Structure 1
Amino acid sequence: MKGPICLVVATAASLSLASAQNATDTASLYPAATTKAAKVSGAPFLFLSESVQLTDSVLADVASTIQNETISGLFAFASNFTSSKRGEDGCKLMPGDSLWPVQLVWNIFDDLLGGALIKASPLAAVCYPDWSEYNAEKCATITADWLVSDMHEADPTSIMLPLYEGRTCMPPGYNYTSTCTMGAYPTYTVNVSTIAQIQLAVNFARNANLRFVVKNTGHDFNGKASGKGALSIWTHWLKDKAYIPYVEADNGYSGPAIKVGAGIEVFEAYEFAKSVGHTVVGGEAVTVGIAGGYTAGGGHSPLSSMYGLAADQVLAMEVVLADGRFITATSKQNADVFWMLRGGGGSTIGVVTSLTVIARPQLQTTTVTFNFTVADTPGLDAFWAAVQSYIDNVEDFVDAGTYGYYYLGASEFEIGTDYAGDTYYYFRMESFVAPNMSVAETEALLAPWFNTLDSLNVTYIPWYNYADNFHDAWVVSFPQEYVGTDVVKTASRLMPRSVFQDDELRNQTFKAHKDAIEQGLFAAGFHISGTGIAVDSPTDNAVLPAWRDALMHTIVGIEWAFDSNWSTIKNSSEFVTSWMDVLRDIAPDSGAYMSEADLNEPNLQDAFYGVNYPRLYELKQKYDPTGLFFALTAVGAEDWEVQVEDPLPYSWNNNGRLCPVSL
């Protein structure tokens, strides 16, 4: 080896200084008011972090410095995807395998990254004396905050739903065992701050045949950010953002836009949009990463009935593909990538590093929150009639551009359903969101439902919250949700307009809600549409077509105790999957929102992707033929299996070796 590896980092940085300076100069123009068009035949500019890139010349310097082709080849771009180093069985390598990179290689990788490589350990390892991280004081803090999103998103590997990493290391009181193991947490994580680091990680994982995952905040219903033995990249600190007063985009849009880095969360996007006098379409939950799997999977929003899905807002994106190359994608440039990554799901063919999205007008917004229990009604019949009245009014609510997040169950504590047969029923409107409406207009829209509640002698106290901008109405209506538990399994279905226009099907939908609660399940759903009333839906993205006709996104789930064994979890999960046939039969031609769905969904490809799947699968083979990118619900998932180590069927979580499907 010739010279210290740190020289390679310096070389990479020096080769990027000119482009980084150009990006900085360009970016400085946009926050200022200007009427000059910024033609988007790509993106208007690159963020500084995106200007530090891995190039062929940098890799030549790496090879010259290392003087070992076997090692330097691990960091090379793909050449016809022939350089992947597979084991005899085709499985992704795991620690302990004979071909697993030796420590010297990991050290070189870390040097090339500029010291950004983290040897991973579970967040709760501090609670276990047999771990070197053991610290009783830190354990007390982690245990106290275990259900808080902020703590998990600030950790390089922790995910918010640990069921899908194997529930292998949780604090005392949450753990079903007395032990802590790695489970499906990755082995190493790269704390990325530049494109070059992402490219190095992609190349290394592909060439060394490592499992590869991407974590932003860890807010994912099916644990995409976990993977046993994996190399992970942590995009959480890609926090750049910029306002662009005017663009002329390749898809024909002209007007204001906002560009966000992959690490920008919903609350940050909303805050920034407000600060520049606009609104963006993002999720309801505070900790959703707007540029990750959320938008890639379609992305529903409190603003969707007004403006459509998050995927519909994208004008341009920057992506590191599976071959390690960094590209910009628009409707004209790398158009197939642009089509696929707007609705075709995350963890498919690349790492999205930033999005340029439409900046919508700043809207007056009214939100309404209230609840009622069976005790607030004359009896069971009145309670269920009140719930049915909501379902009867869903079409009118959606057609007015509103969104409602409802929760239905049976529990004295009004969380979930305690057990089958519990009659302590409750209905909670977490938030009814009325964009572009005053309080008086919202009251008028709700009057038919509320008149029915009054006629049923239901006691309820609606809290109206109004603001002259969307952010200020949203922020008080959607507090952080509790996370960190392994005690819930959910499934979902998109219910189309035809169901609500047919008296019998609409009544069946109500009866299904009632039956779910009586069977010991709970429901958490939304009245929402993927077709906004204020815009025309695009036809050039991979959004599940069922979204365009949906009026309700219905989630049904089941709970169990923290100390439940795997047999209980398996049986409970199978019950939810089976029960969902009720909704599948009511809406057989619809589908399910992949980001909040059952990973055991029957006919998963059709349910999550619909008629788009054949083209999506073809593009997957074109851009990622070695299967670098994988998720249990992603395009191409049927070609692989997670050989789960827990007493569960294969591919029920990420705690196992990733291998090609056995023939």
Structure 2
Amino acid sequence: MISLFPLFLISLSAWGSSVNAQAKNYPGAAGWPTSAAWQELGQATGGRLSKCPATECTSSQGAYVLAAKTAQDVSAGMKFATANKVRVSVKGTGHDFMSSQNRNGGSGSLLIYTRTMKGYQIVPEWVATGAPNGTAPQAAVGIAGGTAFEEVYPFVERERLMIVHGATASVGAAGGWIQGGGHGPLSNQYGMGCDNALEFEIVVPSGAILIANDYQNQDLFFALRGGGGGTFGIVTRLITRAYPLPTMNGIQISVRGRGYLDAMAYLFAMTPNMTDFGLSGYPTMSGSSYSSRLRAPGKTAQEISEFFNPIAERMRQLGVTVSLDQVVDRGTTSKRELFKEAAESEKLKARQLGGLMTSRLLARDALNEGNIPAIRKMLSSVTGGLSSVLPYPNAGGRVAQNRDLDTGLNPAWRDAVMHMIVMGIGGSPVSAMDPLSANHGAYLNEASPSERDWKTTFFGGGEHYARLLEVKKKYDPTNTLWCTPCVGGDLLVERSGRLYDA
């Protein structure tokens, strides 16, 4: 008996180490690259590699940072990291409302910084790489991996063109926004950002520089259009569809007073009609007031008033004061104004980084006049206390019509008409919103990182998630890229800043 006890301990120890082996090398470990090896990588990338000073590094930062300027720089970094079992983290503009998950950082990682990759170009008659002869050209804009919307928009607008964009000017056009789906003030007229992506240049963990579009690497093209950033590779160039610049008339709405919840429940029930008409924007609401500037690209101010006046009148009958003002585009409306209009909701989200953000994609089938009692009950729950609510009517319309596109986007977007965010402390907003949601779905770029069934909530679960995971395993078999909640996030576990096999 005495002789068996140590043997048992040895066996148990061996079993534990095989199941929970450290997945990556870290500074100080035997497998960590030598200083000479890092120096060689720095020389290969034109001196763009820097070491994080030990006195300034936090546990969430990379051990080294590669400020890439070309796809070749990214390729060198990826090859090096994969060969040496070093984790790669990716950072562009750094926008991430799941900051607690540090999805664009990582202790002991090689952080590849893409913000230094700048550039944009209008291609009036673009044809996909590898397309067959006779393929019809279309207008497009090429955007380098680190370019922000605020940099490309003035250039595009001067040519009287537009591209589908996000709510915040400083967000990167080719990064996590579009790779996670990409909603914006024009979504219900033109589709999600990922719906308009025509081609990606991407560096995968092997270091290969690939083109992903409808004609080559179609599986990767599928995953990059909505399956999440920092997961399958690093995008170094995006080609996105360009449209003629439309007129941007709209309406300014404010609601308050007795009967507020009844009136707001009715307004929510009208959301499918509003999004199908083309109205979209970034409202803010509390338990006593609602404010929004909604725009409808291509509609006249009179058409918008004629559409919305009956809705406003019904709300007044329910006891609230509704103030309406026309927003007329006199030929000077720019995307800067659209960014400014979304600024208040973005400020609320930014202030909430230390608190709780939850969200749900509310279904078309749930928002209707026959379901007003359930809508009112939900609003009563989520607008109480210290909560702020951002009810974005930016799905429906073209987002729903694009359901047959082969994209990695959470399928719940195709059944939704509203992306609703609740921010605050206390209560259970998810349980209140869930009965009205599309398959418990949420937008993976603006949600709680603590979702229990994250594979369904963010990626649609089932066959859809399985297909995304298959792409992940094909192009990143050793999990050089890892984040959570991301596709393949449960293949490794993080303990004290280090990654282990699950």
8 Å CA contact 1:363, 1:470 repeated in 2: no
Distance in 1 of aligned mates of 2:322 and 2:310: 16
Q: CA deviation at 1:637?
A: 0.5
Counterpart residue type for residue 114 of structure 2: T
Shift of the 282–486 alpha-carbon distance from structure 1 to 2, 3 Å rule, reads closer
Shift of the 467–263 alpha-carbon distance from structure 1 to 2, 3 Å rule, reads farther
8 Å CA contact 2:121, 2:143 repeated in 1: yes
Q: CA deviation at 1:439?
A: 2.2
Deviates more, 1:442-451 or 1:628-637: 442-451
Matched, 1:492 2:359: yes
Counterpart residue type for residue 633 of structure 1: P
> What is residue 477 of structure 1 aligned with on the other side?
341
Shift of the 639–253 alpha-carbon distance from structure 1 to 2, 3 Å rule, reads farther
> What is residue 98 of structure 1 aligned with on the other side?
30
Matched, 1:606 2:456: yes
> What is residue 582 of structure 1 aligned with on the other side?
432
Q: CA deviation at 1:459?
A: 5.7
Matches within 5 A, 1:126-141: none
8 Å CA contact 2:360, 2:433 repeated in 1: yes
8 Å CA contact 1:492, 1:597 repeated in 2: yes
> What is residue 301 of structure 2 aligned with on the other side?
439
Matched, 1:266 2:133: no
Q: Deviations over 1:448-477 (max 9, x none)?
A: 232234443516364625253652642442
Shift of the 465–185 alpha-carbon distance from structure 1 to 2, 3 Å rule, reads farther
Distance in 1 of aligned mates of 2:272 and 2:160: 31
Matched, 1:313 2:196: yes
The structure 2 residue matched to 1:385, chosen from 237, 241, 262, is 262
- Residue identity over aligned pairs, in percent, reads 27
> What is residue 175 of structure 1 aligned with on the other side?
none
Matches within 5 A, 1:190-589: 190-223=66-99, 224-249=103-128, 250=131, 254-373=137-256, 377=257, 379=258, 382-409=259-286, 425-429=288-292, 431-455=293-317, 456-458=319-321, 460=323, 462=325, 464-468=327-331, 471=335, 473-479=337-343, 481-482=346-347, 483=350, 486-501=353-368, 503-504=370-371, 506-529=372-395, 531-532=397-398, 536-559=402-425, 576=428, 579-587=429-437, 589=439
Shift of the 195–582 alpha-carbon distance from structure 1 to 2, 3 Å rule, reads same
Distance in 2 of aligned mates of 1:553 and 1:276: 32
> What is residue 477 of structure 2 aligned with on the other side?
625
Q: TM-score scaled to structure 2, two decimals?
A: 0.86
Q: Deviations over 1:169-228 (max 9, x none)?
A: xxxxxxxxxxxx603122221111111110111112212212211111001122321212
8 Å CA contact 1:311, 1:342 repeated in 2: yes
Task: Describe the SS at the equivalent of 1:312.
Answer: helix
Q: CA deviation at 1:372?
A: 4.5
Q: CA deviation at 1:300?
A: 0.9
8 Å CA contact 2:199, 2:212 repeated in 1: yes
Gaps of 5+ in 2: 1-17
Matches within 5 A, 1:32-181: 89-120=21-52
Task: Describe the SS at the equivalent of 1:625.
Answer: coil
Gaps of 5+ in 1: 1-85, 122-130, 134-180, 411-424, 560-571, 646-655
Shift of the 95–529 alpha-carbon distance from structure 1 to 2, 3 Å rule, reads same
8 Å CA contact 1:286, 1:478 repeated in 2: no
8 Å CA contact 2:361, 2:419 repeated in 1: yes
Distance in 2 of aligned mates of 1:459 and 1:501: 20
Task: Describe the SS at the equivalent of 1:518.
Answer: coil
8 Å CA contact 1:285, 1:478 repeated in 2: yes
Q: CA deviation at 1:119?
A: 2.8
Task: Describe the SS at the equivalent of 2:65.
Answer: strand
Q: CA deviation at 1:92?
A: 2.1
Task: Describe the SS at the equivalent of 2:170.
Answer: coil
Q: CA deviation at 1:525?
A: 2.3
8 Å CA contact 2:412, 2:438 repeated in 1: no
The number of equivalent residue pairs is 471
Shift of the 640–355 alpha-carbon distance from structure 1 to 2, 3 Å rule, reads same
Task: Describe the SS at the equivalent of 1:114.
Answer: coil
Shift of the 484–213 alpha-carbon distance from structure 1 to 2, 3 Å rule, reads farther
Counterpart residue type for residue 237 of structure 2: S
Q: TM-score scaled to structure 1, two decimals?
A: 0.66
Distance in 1 of aligned mates of 2:33 and 2:399: 54
